Structure 1
Amino acid sequence: MNEHNGQLPNSKKIYVAGKIHSDVRVPFREITLAPTKSMNGDIGANDPVRVYDTSGPWSDPDFHGDVTQGLPPLRAKWIRSRGDVEEYEGREVQPIDDGWLSDAHAAYANGKRPTLNVQHPTFNGDGAPSRRTPLRAKSHPITQLYYARQGIITPEMEFIAIRENHRIASQKDEFRIKKDGNGNSEFHNSSFLPHPFDRNHLAHQHAGDAFGAEIPEEITAEFVRSDIARGRAIVPANINHPESEPMVIGRNFLVK
């Protein structure tokens, strides 16, 4: 796990590596908490809290990019390594792609706010950012739904699982070990039991009501794959937008 000092106060950007796919690196924002003063006056340190981070590479102080070249293609290697896509010749950008009815409309609008190409690049002219050759499927579908129904856990699915889980399960294991140095914790191994942790403990959870949702204690890559395969969740992962970080939309996940 690599750590990066962030620009936001009392926090830093960290990355958690995948276990199934070693090149998966999931960003989190780790926030430092102030110590807590108890009723008896003792001062207790609090572990940092990790939160969902979708700010992209520009919030990483170690990243030095060029805005004219777009975001780094995070998923390009994953997409091509599956061997089921091919390049094809795209078409020239048309005025309608930028919201103009014709070249005349585009020229008029650009004439009202003239800028240098390097400041306001056109995709067909000088100063244009680098262009990626578009991809398309060779034979079978290239969706995450297709892979999930083939029983394949893709890097995107593991990325999602780590991001959704916030490493809560591993932190709970650490808490249990700290409770008993021999690993023989008095706590149970399921957060759905009434009180697996003291009520004032960071890891304590109320039983609650899932209202039909099936959310396990730990969101695993296999759980992500299973929910996608069942049609209960979707993963927006266009092969021609490899810069997008994987995320999932579904009842059992953070984004509904």
Structure 2
Amino acid sequence: MNAQLSALQQQAQQLSESVTRPIPGSHKIHVQGSRPDLQVPMREITLTRTPTLFGGEENAPVTVYDTSGPYTDPAVAIDLSAGLPALRAAWVAERRDTEVLEGLSSAFGRSRETDARLDAVRFPARLQPRRARAGANVTQMHYARRGIITPEMEFVAIRENQRLDAIGDAALLKQHPGESFGASIPRIITPEFVRDEIARGRAVLPNNINHPESEPMIIGRNFLTKINANIGNSAVSSGIAEEVEKLVWAIRWGGDTVMDLSTGKHIHETREWIVRNSPVAIGTVPIYQALEKVDGRAEELNWAIFRDTLIEQAEQGVDYFTIHAGVLLRYVPLTAKRVTGIVSRGGSIMAKWCLAHHKENFLYTHFEDICEIMKAYDVSFSLGDGLR
């Protein structure tokens, strides 16, 4: 068992060496916010000198958004077996509206934790999960609507600006006229603007309190476009080391969020390795893992299994869940004459359950319960388009 554990950690160490090379022609910089522990990462690209033929002048470096985390910073020693530094741990703790749990709340999580057969694949470092105190709301939207600007909001404001205020050449700030489609984006993004957009429900800041390693990022119509990358193992391919490698390559080339869509072996353990080593928001489709727990038989799914899966993943640090709550029983017959049926995997799972039981989708009937669970950990919603 120890030999197997050492083999996995050795794989992780080899991976650490292969994906931590700096990106050529640029280097990592950090812009400090209003407090010393608010260091916003960016990438400064070095430009060559304009040739003499065209005027011959030096060109200032260009600062751009960077999603690669510490992996491209030569000053940081990466150890995938230890995970990334808990960047946001102090921010979460100082709000005093969460509590550290003595153990895992989900039955499945506890069973995995005590299964000695999993020692070889279990993430070595254990993070004590947090949850909102009784009656507390720990979401960024809740803070925003109370007029509170959190460190996470300030972080994304600085990040979105990409140091535009440092550009001295007016020509570089020129923007061609275009169609705004109703968007109202100020030239400089302020923390107050971020707070207001979140409070209005026009933006989301996916940051689970159990994912303190994450570098805050915002999604909304009045902010920069964000890109998601999907990874995940299957029953026939890939292991933990490969999935972590996919994560690191995805963020190196610009992934703002990563979804773990694993359906193979060791889903729980694979996700733990991914979350602990991810500087970007991690999303999942919880119904996928719930289906694996009933050996792929959709009709055997139920609210209790799904609820336990939500809590399990929330306490690991998953930042957003795709929930197919809109697949209602009365809509399923509308897809009967389609050539390809329902191509959404989550949607087809829930449609099969609805038809098997001739009952309404339990994700819909328990939607308020789902909200309460997600509110306790600050997990964001991604409502799945389940009838596509």
Alignment TM-score, normalising by the size of structure 2: 0.48
Alignment of 1:7 onto 2:22? yes
Give 1:133's aligned residue. 128
CA, structure 1 residues 131+44, in 2 after alignment: closer, same or farther (shift >3 Å)? same
Contact 1:248 1:255 in 2 (8 A): no
- Measured in 2, the distance between the counterparts of 1:95 and 1:240 equals 15
CA, structure 1 residues 35+228, in 2 after alignment: closer, same or farther (shift >3 Å)? same
- Measured in 2, the distance between the counterparts of 1:41 and 1:143 equals 53
Q: How far did 1:94 drift?
A: 4.3
Alignment of 1:158 onto 2:158? no
Task: Report which stretch shifted further, 54-63 or 221-230.
Answer: 54-63
Query: In structure 2, the residue corresponding to 1:160 is in which secondary structure?
Result: helix
Query: In structure 2, the residue corresponding to 1:51 is in which secondary structure?
Result: strand
Give 2:86's aligned residue. 73
Match of 1:205 among 150, 169, 175: 175
Q: How far did 1:89 drift?
A: 2.5
- 1:122-146 superposed Cα distances (whole Å, 9 cap, x missing partner): 2xxxxx5121111011132000001
- Measured in 2, the distance between the counterparts of 1:132 and 1:249 equals 27
CA, structure 1 residues 217+95, in 2 after alignment: closer, same or farther (shift >3 Å)? closer
Match of 2:49 among 35, 46, 67: 35
Alignment of 1:89 onto 2:65? no
Letter in 1 for 2:28: K
Name the Cα RMSD after superposition.
2.5
Q: How many residues get paired? A: 202
Query: In structure 2, the residue corresponding to 1:212 is in which secondary structure?
Result: coil
Letter in 2 for 1:149: R
Contact 1:33 1:47 in 2 (8 A): yes
Contact 1:37 1:44 in 2 (8 A): yes
Contact 1:86 1:135 in 2 (8 A): yes
- Measured in 2, the distance between the counterparts of 1:137 and 1:55 equals 30
Query: In structure 2, the residue corresponding to 1:67 is in which secondary structure?
Result: coil
Contact 1:84 1:142 in 2 (8 A): yes
Contact 1:70 1:129 in 2 (8 A): no
- Measured in 1, the distance between the counterparts of 2:107 and 2:69 equals 27
Match of 1:171 among 166, 171, 176: 166
- Measured in 2, the distance between the counterparts of 1:76 and 1:70 equals 14
Give 1:215's aligned residue. 185
- 1:23-55 superposed Cα distances (whole Å, 9 cap, x missing partner): 2101111111122237x6421221111111111
Alignment of 1:56 onto 2:51? no
Query: In structure 2, the residue corresponding to 1:136 is in which secondary structure?
Result: strand
CA, structure 1 residues 42+74, in 2 after alignment: closer, same or farther (shift >3 Å)? same
- Measured in 2, the distance between the counterparts of 1:233 and 1:76 equals 23
Letter in 1 for 2:187: E
Letter in 1 for 2:49: P
Query: In structure 2, the residue corresponding to 1:159 is in which secondary structure?
Result: helix
- Measured in 2, the distance between the counterparts of 1:30 and 1:248 equals 21
Query: In structure 1, the residue corresponding to 2:144 is in which secondary structure?
Result: helix
Q: How far did 1:73 drift?
A: 0.9
Displaced runs of 4+ in structure 1, greater than 6 A? 95-98
- Measured in 1, the distance between the counterparts of 2:186 and 2:36 equals 24
Letter in 2 for 1:152: I
Give 2:208's aligned residue. 238
Q: How far did 1:233 drift?
A: 0.3
- Measured in 2, the distance between the counterparts of 1:156 and 1:235 equals 8
- Measured in 2, the distance between the counterparts of 1:97 and 1:234 equals 33
Query: In structure 1, the residue corresponding to 2:195 is in which secondary structure?
Result: helix
CA, structure 1 residues 41+71, in 2 after alignment: closer, same or farther (shift >3 Å)? closer
CA, structure 1 residues 43+89, in 2 after alignment: closer, same or farther (shift >3 Å)? same
- Which runs of 5 or more structure 2 residues have no equivalent in the other structure? 1-20, 227-388
CA, structure 1 residues 225+206, in 2 after alignment: closer, same or farther (shift >3 Å)? same
Letter in 2 for 1:60: D
- 1:77-117 superposed Cα distances (whole Å, 9 cap, x missing partner): 1000111110112238848998xxxx8xx96xx8xxxxxx6
Q: How far did 1:248 drift?
A: 0.6
Query: In structure 1, the residue corresponding to 2:154 is in which secondary structure?
Result: helix
- 1:57-92 superposed Cα distances (whole Å, 9 cap, x missing partner): 122111114211111111001000111110112238
Give 2:37's aligned residue. 23
- Measured in 2, the distance between the counterparts of 1:41 and 1:30 equals 24
Larger radius of gyration: 1
